[in-house]
Chains A and B, each alone.
Chain A
Amino acid sequence: MIDVQLVTGSIDTAALIAAAGNPDAGAVACFVGTARRTSSMGPSGDVTRLEYEAYAPMAVKELESIAREACERHDVIHLAVHHRLGVLAIGDAAVVIVVSTAHRTAAFEACREVIERIKQRVPIWKKEVFHDGTEWVNAHP
């Protein structure tokens, strides 16, 4: 089963893990992407918050496609991806991926594949907010 959502409040990671449980699943793997205080783009003081935005319908379409491909490739029983949008404090979860499979190798691989592909192609953007300005992450030629 696939559960892909864009959300605006905090993600309930424990609930996603519980929902992935299955009598045939020997492994549940989870990735949590969290907002950190060091800028992705070199030293410029502490990040005070992150702001995420999305081209929402296309982001959902890409997330569903990534989820389907991972499920087929790794024989996944249950896969959930919840990505948060809006303002995140340092330490907040931006994305949670939960995968359950019969055996652990597939769970780790599917989980990793999903986050790598999210970072390549899902139309979601984040802005780092500092005390003295803001920067779009990755947006410099």
Chain B
Amino acid sequence: MARILYFGIARDLAGTAEDTISHRGVMASDDFWRIVIAMHPQLERVRPICRLAVDMSYAGADIDIREDSELAIIPPVAGG
């Protein structure tokens, strides 16, 4: 099952560290965000500053969701 992982402030706002997602195939990142925000409307306010990752690589304009895909909502990083 494809999963969405939430980190940092995104996890706090979503109220969960992980969701599953049943959509499959190629879609625009914007459309994926619509799905996420429909599940967790509180994420709308951090959406402009977050990035997406798919299978541990930062996503481009389109993403391809497969059965074992691991998607992640990446708020602004603050390492170091």
Whether both chains belong to one complex is answered with yes
Binding site for B on A (CB under 8 A): 33, 40, 52-55, 57-59, 61, 83, 94-95, 115, 118-127, 136-141
Binding site for A on B (CB under 8 A): 5, 7-9, 12, 45-46, 48-49, 53, 56, 58, 72, 74-80
CB within 8 Å for A138 and B79 given contacts A57-B56, A58-B56, A125-B8: no
Interface of A is mostly: mixed
Closest residue of B by beta carbon distance from A126: B78
Interface of B is mostly: mixed
Given contacts A118-B80, A123-B79, A136-B8, 20 further A-B contacts (CB under 8 A): A40-B78, A52-B79, A53-B7, A55-B5, A55-B53, A57-B56, A94-B79, A94-B80, A95-B80, A119-B79, A124-B77, A125-B78, A125-B79, A136-B12, A138-B75, A138-B77, A139-B9, A139-B46, A139-B76, A140-B49
Which among B9, B12, B78 has the greatest number of chain A C-beta atoms within 10 A?
B78
Closest Cβ–Cβ distance, residue A40 to chain B (whole Å): 8
